[in-house]
Amino acid sequence: MSHLTVETVGHVRVVRLDRPERKNALTSSLGWSIVRAIGDADADDNVRVVALTGNGDAFCSGLDLGGGDEAPVETGLSGQQQMLDEKGWVGRFLLALRFETDKPVVAGINGAAVGAGLSLAMAADIRIAADTARLHPGYLRAGTSPDGGLTWSLPTLVGHENALRFLLESRFVDADEALRRGLVS
């Protein structure tokens, strides 16, 4: 089960992460489904823009660390390519959203965007935050470096020093502060 809903409203492809009971935490199935949904939208001439958001009160709380991911997912990658990175879908967010589609991708950040969920949001062309949005890099707490293209997208959006400060402060930023920092528009 991919836990993703996709619908087309007019010329807008709406892609919703749909695991509200887990704050839309990412599994391999959900991650690859997002990448495929962006590709499908790009191939559809009727679609002019892609809207990406989460159901419930979170955009995406990051990687589901609770385990229990679904069965192996068909990725379209060769066995060797897939073996290089078992979480290859995380690295594909930036490629799929920024470089593999000509359609603008708008992230509607409706709540928490943490870790890989933050990377997903920052990979979008435009980020719009609800008053309930809360952004957190998450990586420092886990003792890891940012993934999902965040080391490219974040400095591109806010500059090197501001990106580094945000990552090292490792705290939640609300919608107003995110706007002031240039993380959202």
Task: Give the count of alpha carbons within 13 A of 85, CB side only.
Answer: 11
Phi, psi of 92 (to 5 degrees): -80, -15
> Which pLDDT does position 65 carry in this prediction?
82
Phi, psi of 49 (to 5 degrees): -150, 150
Residue with tokens 């995380």: 90
Per-residue pLDDT tens, the chain, 185 aa: give them: 679 999 999 999 999 999 999 999 999 899 999 999 999 999 999 999 999 999 999 999 999 988 655 544 555 555 544 544 455 677 788 899 999 999 999 999 999 999 999 999 999 999 999 999 999 999 887 778 888 899 999 999 999 999 999 999 999 999 999 999 999 99
Number of structural domains (the chain) is 1
> Which pLDDT does position 83 carry in this prediction?
44
> Which pLDDT does position 84 carry in this prediction?
42
Residue 35: CATH number of its domain: 3.90.226.10
> Which pLDDT does position 158 carry in this prediction?
97
> Which pLDDT does position 71 carry in this prediction?
46
Pairing of strands 4-9, 12-17: antiparallel
Alpha carbon of residue 148 to chain centroid? 8
- Token digits of residue 47: 């679609």
Which helix or strand (DSSP H or E) is residue 60 part of?
Answer: strand 58-60
The range of the structural domain enclosing residue 90 comes to 4-181
Q: Give which of 104, 98, 101 is closest to 119, Cα–Cα.
A: 98
Are 138 and 169 in contact by the 8 Å Cβ rule? The answer is: no
> Which pLDDT does position 102 carry in this prediction?
95
> Which pLDDT does position 97 carry in this prediction?
92
